[in-house]
Every structure is written in structure tokens, then in C-alpha cells.
Structure 1
Amino acid sequence: MTDNDPSAAPDTGRAALRADCGNCFGLCCVALTLTVSADFAIDKDAGRPCPNLQDDFRCGIHTRLRPKGFSGCTVYDCFGAGQKVSQETYAGQDWRSSPDTAQQMFQVFPVVRQLHELLWYLTEALTLPAAASLHPEIRRALEATERHSGGSPEALAELDVAAHRSGISELLLRTSALVRASSPRRRKRDHRGADLIGARLKGADLRGADLRGAYLIAADLSGADLRLADLIGADFRDADLTGADLTGSLFLTQAQLNAARGDAATRLPSPLTRPAHWS
């Protein structure tokens, strides 16, 4: 449900964690709940196909999602869970031709999506030299997560993904602390979980800041320096990132960028692509 071209991003070992809608059975268009809002033009219960989903599992308004009131679809990222569940977990057996699998498939999809998001973060963590002392532990966590994601439908449906995620979150926190300690900025700002909705942070020096889970909705971050800042789970909806420097930022995802506003001067980490709707 992204309007970016994943093939444009350099391959950093995370190619399988990028959405491939052509090999998915439209799972995000069925399994998820939609609520009328600025992001979605309709209400839709989980398990009910979106009316825009065609018989070939493609979106009938893909090129017109934003003007049609479905900007939320252009933000959502399954981290490759859609094609994994469709082609591997269920071996190409779709929910339309095998309706007896539908309910379980829709239950499994968000579990694999969470596991793939964790794989995205762990893969990045292994590229960070400042966290080299944690790399053996990170690698073990990554291998365990990969095993879970490749499990049977029954195993995935029963997995306590919250418990698994909790342990990895603690590991990523330690990783973040090691990396951010290398920031040249002496005083590292702690904005973890902070309410920064609409905050005026134009040109702010946020190098090495902890913005984990911060609410940055509609914040002005134009020209801000976010190098080495921990951005995991930060809410960038409608945030202004024009001219901001995000190179070297930690645990940023494509979905976060898709939700924000930026321009050609916004500097991005190499695995991510500039959203098509940016000016």
C-alpha cells in the first residue's frame, strides 16, 4: 500500500522486508480495519475486503489513493509480510479460492508483519559499528525472529508476539544507547514518548536525541539535524521534514517517511526512498 518504488532503494539485506504487492493476495486490503478519518474515506471491518480491491488482488484506485481519501493506504507498510504469508506460509493458496483458510490467514498476517518489522530493525542494528559488542546477541535475536516468521500457520497464530517483541525492544534500546553515545552533541535530548505535536523544531540540533515513540504529528522539523537520533516508533504524520538531515538516524522506516512531508533537500538514510507525494 505504498506509492514508492522499493526497487529504487539500495539492497542492504532487507529486500525481502519490502512490500511486493504483486505477490500478495491483497491481505492489507482485507485483514485490517479501516475507520473513516483523514486517512480513510470508509469504515471497513477486519476480514471484509475493501471495495476497491479487484478480483486480481490489486487496488482499483492505486494511482488515485490520496485524492480519493485513502492517504492511509499510501503510508501503510507490511515490511514484506504480505508476500511472505501469501507465497510461503500458505504456499500460494489464496483466501478466495480456499475460503476455509481466510480467517486464519487474516490472523497470521499481522503477526508476520510485526515479526518482519523487528527483522528490519535487527538487520539495521547489525550494520552499526558502535554496537559491535551487541552483534552476537542481535544476530541470535534475528535468527530466532526469522524462525518464527517461517513457522506454520498454526504456530504463528499461537505465537506470543508481544513477549517476543518486548525482549527485542530492550536489546534495541541498548543498541541505541551505544550508537547515540557517539554523537558529537554533548547533551543528548531525551524526548522518548514526548508529546511534540505541532512543536516548532525548525533547524533544531537533535543529533543523538532519543525520540523513540515521540508524537511529532504536524511538527516543524524543517532543516533539523536528526543524525544518530533514535526514531523508532516516532509518529511523523504530517511532520515537516523539508531540508532535514535524517542520514544516520536510527530505526527509521519507510512508513514514517510516507506519513511526513519533505522535499528534494531532505536527506535520507540509504535504504529508504523519497515518497512520491513529497514536493
Structure 2
Amino acid sequence: MPDQIAGRPELRGDCARCFGLCCVALPFAASADFALDKPAGKPCPNLGGDHRCGIHTDLRRRGFTGCTVYDCFGAGQKVSQLTFGGQDWRTGSGERARRMFDVFPVVRQLHELLWYLTEALELPAARPVHADLRAALDETERLTLGTPDELAALDVPAHRQRVNVLLLRTSELARAGLGGTNGRRKDRRGADLAGARLKGADLRGASLRGACLIAADLTGADLRGADLIGADLRDTDLTDADLTGAFFLTQPQVDAARGSAGTRLPASLTRPVHWAARH
């Protein structure tokens, strides 16, 4: 696991220190991911008075796969314990609850950027932009510590765009020289590869930024050193695929995919429990 990621547990969700914000603030739409419709701001019917999920160990069987692949990157506990000082949304005024629900998605986006920036600073090849990355990380950290009013008024897309320029440059530096079989790096940025048959594909050093890989077959594919930021890996078959050194890959992406004991993951990520159930 990268040293800096390992040393930042605050970028991993800690449900025990959160007031179940993802179960209330976010909307659900009845689909393959959720068994029911739920508007934003309304508690999920499975949420208990103790802010714990009543069907946590049975979410997939009960039709709530979407819950099992969600990660707030630690935003839940920050908003609950720091931004609002441990004040529960269930108590006090409805205005407090509304503000918590408005702020939570903002902090979640900022924490996701902190994850990417922290990982980027671990890449030796990105040394030419390390100073800029550090400055962006410090600025993003500062923004997460804003008041509820400051966070609600924050232009998150503009900040993401500024950070993304640095992450894109980081990707170019990290993937240089990692071409596939023809010695050329593959640019699949934003590609529609839903259901694509890519079994055994050589995607070393490929840019798959924002690519749609829903239900794609990547069995045995070589994804070493690939950029997977924002790639949609829902139901992607990663059985025996090699993602060693792949970067900007997050736990929610891995949790949404399918894999096996033979799938090789970056050290910062955990092999999903449901993968073992398939084999």
C-alpha cells in the first residue's frame, strides 16, 4: 500500500463515526442497484435509530448492491464529527439536517480528490509536478475544513477542473514508456467499451479515464500502469486480470466489478468479499 494512502485513514469511510448520511442525503432510484426509490433527504427504510443499516450483511441478496459499492472517502465522519461538531441530523432543527445533507456530497467530492492527489504524490515519475500537487492537496484540505455555509457555496466543478489538469499531467508522466505490444500507449479516454470483449488484452499504460467498461470482459487483461480514473467498472469481469501499478483506481470501482483470487490489485485496495463467493 502506498505509504501516504496507508497513513490517511481519514480518507476511508468510518460508518461508526457517521450519522448514516449516505443513507439519508443521497437519492436512490429503483434499479439493479437499489430495490426501491428514495428521494434525497429521506432516510432509507433500512436505517435504524442508531444510524446502522438493518440489513448490512444481506444487502446484495435484498437488492441493494449499490450500497455495497459506495464509499464516501471519509466524508461522512468529517461532516458528522467536524463540520457539525457531532450534532446529529435527527436532533435540532430541520434546517441543520438540510444543511448537513447539502454539505455531505460536497465534502465527499473533495475527499475523493484528496485520495487522487495523495496517490499522485506517491508516483516517482510525477516528481516534476509534485510541488503543484502538494499545493493542490493543501488547498483541497483547507476547503474541507470550511464552515457549512462556505462548503455549500463552494464551486466544486471549478476546483475539480483545476485539480484534474494536474492529475492529467501526472497520468502522462506516469504512463510514459509503458506502451503495449506495439510500444505505443493506448488512449481509450472516455471510450464506450460497454460489453467489450477484451479478454487477455494488453492495456499496459493505457488511459482509460472515464471509459465505460460496464460488463466488459477483461479476463486476464494486462492493466499494469493503466490510468483508471472515473472508469465505470460495474460488472466488469476482472478475473485473473493484472492491475498492478494501475493508478487512480478506487475501492468503489473495484467493488463494482467482478474478479477472482487471481486478480492482482494495487496494494492500496482490498479484494472484495463477494469476489470469493463467485469461485
User: What range is the shorter-chain TM-score in?
Assistant: over 0.9
2:145 is the alignment partner of 1:130: no
The residue number in structure 1 matching 2:205 is 208
Structure 1 residue 83, shift from structure 2 partner: 0.3
CA deviations over 1:167-202 (Å, ceiling 9, x no partner)? 001110000000100315321111100000000111
Residues matched between the structures, number = 271
SS in structure 2 at match of 1:25: coil
The residue number in structure 2 matching 1:177 is 172
- Checking the alignment, whether the CA contact within 8 Å between 2:13 and 2:75 is kept in structure 1 is yes
Alignment of 1:22-101 (within 5 A): 22-99=16-93, 100-101=95-96
Structure 1 residue 134, shift from structure 2 partner: 0.3
Find runs of 4+ consecutive structure 1 residues off by over 2 angstroms: 9-14
- Checking the alignment, whether the CA contact within 8 Å between 2:5 and 2:119 is kept in structure 1 is no
CA deviations over 1:103-122 (Å, ceiling 9, x no partner)? 01000000000000000000
In structure 2, what is the Cα distance between the partners aligned to 1:246 and 1:55? 40
1:249 to 246, 250, 269: 246
Identity among equivalent pairs (%): 68
SS in structure 2 at match of 1:162: helix
- Checking the alignment, whether the CA contact within 8 Å between 2:200 and 2:218 is kept in structure 1 is yes
SS in structure 1 at match of 2:130: helix
- Checking the alignment, whether the CA contact within 8 Å between 1:34 and 1:43 is kept in structure 2 is yes
The residue number in structure 2 matching 1:6 is none
2:107 to 93, 109, 112: 112
CA deviations over 1:20-44 (Å, ceiling 9, x no partner)? 0000000000000000000000000
1:149 to 144, 149, 156: 144
5+ residue gaps, structure 2: none
Alignment of 1:161-176 (within 5 A): 161-176=156-171
- Checking the alignment, whether the CA contact within 8 Å between 1:10 and 1:271 is kept in structure 2 is no
1:195 to 192, 197, 203: 192
Structure 1 residue 10, shift from structure 2 partner: 9.7
The residue number in structure 2 matching 1:217 is 214
Which shifted more, 180-189 or 108-117?
Answer: 180-189
Structure 1 residue 90, shift from structure 2 partner: 0.5
Amino acid at match of 1:182: G
- Checking the alignment, whether the CA contact within 8 Å between 1:130 and 1:182 is kept in structure 2 is no
Amino acid at match of 2:120: A
TM-score when scaled to structure 1?
A: 0.95
The residue number in structure 1 matching 2:155 is 160
